[in-house]
Amino acid sequence: MAVKNLLKKERVEYILHKLEDLYPETPVPLDHKDPYTLLVAVLLSAQCTDERVNQVTPSLWKLADTPADMARVPVDKIQQVIRPCGLSPQKSRAISKLSQILVNEYHGRVPENIAALETLPGVGHKTASVVMSQAFGHPAFPVDTHIHRLAQRWGLTSGKNVTQTEKDLKRLFPRDKWNKLHLQIIFYGREYCSARGCDGTVCEICTTCYPNRKNPKKTKKA
C-alpha cells in the first residue's frame, strides 16, 4: 500500500514531538550574561556563525560589557576586536551608537519592548525578537534564512520571505512553544537538515513528512 504524505496538521504534531525528543534542552547558542551582552552578540551574528561570535565576544567584554562603558570606547577600537565577525565597520558603529542611545534614553538598560528595540541601530526585527524571547522570556518566533528554508521543506509555509514565514509558523504552533521551538529548528537544521546536507529528500523529518517526494524542494528566497 502506498505511503501517503502527511497532512499539515500531522506534520505540525510530528515535528513538535520529534524536535522535543531530539532537543529537550535548548541552551542559547550565543554566550552572554545579560540582555545587553545578548543584544550585542546577536547583532554580531549577522552573516557570521555563533561559534565565531563566541570566540570574539570575550575580548569585546574586556573592553566594555555595559552600555555606559561601551559608549566611551572609540569605534575603531570596537572594530579591531570584532573584525573576525565580518561587516565590522557597520557593526562597530551600530554597537557604539546603540550603547549611547541606551545610556541617554533608557537609563543604560535594554528596553523590554520589541518596537523600541527595532529603533536601535543595527537591530532588525529578527534581532529584536531574539532578545525579547531569550533575554526577557516573551513569546517570539525569530525567523532567519535557515528556519525559512526548513519551514518550506516541511510544508509549513509557502511564504517568499521571512516575514510571511514567521506569521505562518506563529499560526501553526502554540504560543508557549515558540521560544523553544525556534532554537530546536535551528539545532535540527545544523545537525540534520542543512542547506547542503539535505534538499528536502534526505533527513528524517523531510522524509517522514513527505515520503513520496522525489525531487529536491527548492527554497523561495528569504
DSSP state of 30: S
Residues 82, 122: contact at Cβ < 8 Å?
no
Active site residue 126: yes
Q: How many CB atoms lie within 10 A of CB 8?
A: 12
SS3 content of the chain, % helix, strand, coil (to 5): 60, 0, 40
Active site residue 168: no
Going 185 to 187 to 191 to 196, the CA torsion angle's sign is: positive
Q: Which of 18, 144, 214, 218 is catalytic?
A: 144
- Phi, psi torsion values for 144, nearest 5 degrees: -105, -175
Give the distance, in angstroms, between the CA of residue 101 and the centroid of all CA atoms in the same chain. 24
Q: Which entry of 21, 65, 91, 126 is annotated as an active-site residue? A: 126
Is the four-CA dihedral 193, 131, 67, 102 of positive or negative sign?
positive
Interacting residues of 98 by C-beta distance below 8 A, sequence separation 6+: 39, 43, 67, 120, 121, 122, 123
User: What is the C-alpha to C-alpha distance for residues 97 and 73, in angstroms, rounded to an integer?
Assistant: 11
- Look at the block and give the residue holding cell 554580531: 44
Active-site residue numbers?
A: 126, 144
